[in-house]
Chains A and B, each alone.
Chain A
Amino acid sequence: MTSGQELEVQQKREVQKKEEGTTPTRVFLPTTDIYETDQGLTVSMEMPGVDKSNVDINIDDGVLTIEGRIDFSKYQDFRPVYSEYNIGNFRRSFSLPGSINQEHIKAEMKDGVLTLTLPKAEKAKPRQIPIG
């Protein structure tokens, strides 16, 4: 990975809702990396300002949904004078491949990044095939 490059601003993307919600607040998609190792899948999502106690991780019918809520009460007596980004809760869903062991998903939150480790089921791990 090149690490000497300059960071550029990534525009926050909003969740496109299929149905209209009852509240008009904007919800954002966390910037996400997904990578695979021999052991399983790792999902890393950036959710700045989200405390680990405000993260919900759900699996329903093979769909993994992550929701992170920000503490906007801090903003109550702030009056904006200049802004470059908007704030809001985060939400994103992914369909899980059948090879994931859904019972043993681990989650860790650090510096505003949620990292989920999704282990592969035993039968889905790669095996060396000996040539007879």
Chain B
Amino acid sequence: MFGMDPFATLHRIQRALETHLDSDWLSGATTGVGAFPPINLFQQGHDFVAVVELAGVKPDALNIEAKENSLRLSGSKFIDYEGKASLHRRERIEGSFDRTITLPVRIDPDRIKAEFRDGLLALFIPRAESDKPRSIKIGE
């Protein structure tokens, strides 16, 4: 397709992510034991999407809890080195994680949807009805 260079699209997304690196949108609202796993937060219309990199974490080793406007991700990651293997290069790490983030907006925790595929978790977080922007009509 002319004018729809896929690399231009990826480049645009990469630059937008760069611009929002550790933005103050979530400042002070991320708690819990550690900063793993890394999270990207997006707005999609009025709602939010959290995309989390969790390569090597098995779906049954991941717990997701939502309460009020907080999300908690906990679980563990294990690497099977098949017994007596000798390591040439070791960059991957294993262990447990427990992280809670609190969104600065009201969300609807009962309607969050989670997709976990290819080591990438996507959480679709609907904004609470009461929190959605309304347009105010000016009376005659």
Listed in ascending order, the chain A residues whose CB lies under 8 Å from chain B are: 1-10, 23-26, 31-37, 41-42, 44, 46-51, 72-89, 109, 111-113
A79-B7 in contact given A1-B79, A46-B55 (Cβ < 8 Å): no
B54 within 8 Å of A (CB atoms): yes
On chain A, the residues within 8 Å of B23 by CB distance are 81-83
On chain A, the residues within 8 Å of B20 by CB distance are 80-83
CB distance from A113 to the nearest CB of B (A): 5
CB distance from B99 to the nearest CB of A (A): 10
On chain B, the residues within 8 Å of A36 by CB distance are 85-88
Query: A1 touches which one: B14, B34, B94 (CB < 8 A)?
Result: B94
Q: Is the CB of A31 within 8 A of B96?
A: no
A83-B34 in contact given A46-B56, A48-B53 (Cβ < 8 Å): no
Q: Is the CB of B25 within 8 A of A1?
A: no
B33 within 8 Å of A (CB atoms): yes
Interface centre among B25, B88, B89, B122 (most CB of A within 10 A): B88
Give the distance in Å from the alpha carbon of A33 to the alpha carbon of B17 in the complex.
28
What is the count of residue pairs linking A and B with beta-carbon distances less than 8 angstroms? 194
Q: Is the CB of B96 within 8 A of A7?
A: yes
Q: Is the CB of B14 within 8 A of A26?
A: yes
On chain B, the residues within 8 Å of A23 by CB distance are 7, 11
Give the distance in Å from the alpha carbon of A109 to the alpha carbon of B55 in the complex.
11
CB distance from B82 to the nearest CB of A (A): 6
Q: Is the CB of A37 within 8 A of B14?
A: no
A interface: dominant SS: loop
Give the distance in Å from the alpha carbon of A88 to the alpha carbon of B120 in the complex.
13
Q: Is the CB of B91 within 8 A of A33?
A: yes
Q: Is the CB of B119 within 8 A of A33?
A: no
Give the distance in Å from the alpha carbon of A86 to the alpha carbon of B11 in the complex.
11
CB distance from B120 to the nearest CB of A (A): 4
Query: A111 touches which one: B11, B14, B55, B92 (CB < 8 A)?
Result: B55
On chain B, the residues within 8 Å of A8 by CB distance are 34-36, 93
Give the distance in Å from the alpha carbon of A77 to the alpha carbon of B77 in the complex.
31
Q: B38-46, B64-72, B130-138: which one contacts chain A?
A: B38-46
